[in-house]
Structure formats: C-alpha cells, structure tokens
Amino acid sequence: MTIYWERCDLCGQYRPVKKCSLIPEISIDVHCCVACPYWMNKCTVPAWRIETRSPQTPPRRSLSSEDKEKLLKELTSLLRSS
C-alpha cells in the first residue's frame, strides 16, 4: 500500500493521504478517515484502518533480574574505571 504526501480532499491540508476506499476519487488523510461518519457502518475497509486500529508495536523486552544485576555491575565497573 502506497502513502502519498498530498492534499486531503476533505480538510485541504497537506498530509500523507490514501485513496478513500468508499469514494476512490478522493484522497483522505488519517484524521478525516477516522472522523468519517461512514467509518463504522457503511465503510467496511477504511483506507487508514490498519494504521489506526492495530498499531504494530513490538513487545517490550524485559530484563530478568539476573540480567539487571549483570548490567548494573557492568555500569558500576565502568564508572569506577573512568
């Protein structure tokens, strides 16, 4: 899917736009797409749906207590050596 940095046909602002899935003649930005009244019922596949509804955030890596201890030791040794 390509994102174009063009003028939104609804609000007129220059933003990344996508082709509206309901009216292909218009380009729509993420804000207007989300605020669109057809978003919930009429428009089943909104252009910005994937980006707005399920952001792909990688799961945070948590350190184990041993790793933390090891890291702390490394850091303190670095402080001492400097």
- Nearer to Zn ion by Cβ, of 32 and 47: the residue is 32
78 Cβ neighbours under 8 A, 6+ residues apart = none
Q: Interface with Zn ion by CB under 5 A: which residues?
A: 8, 10-11, 29, 32
- Nearer to Zn ion by Cβ, of 20 and 32: the residue is 32
CA–CA distances in Å: residue 37 to residues 2, 55, 62, 77, 81:
24, 22, 41, 60, 63
- Nearer to Zn ion by Cβ, of 8 and 20: the residue is 8
Min. distance of Cβ 23 from Zn ion in angstroms?
13
Min. distance of Cβ 32 from Zn ion in angstroms?
3
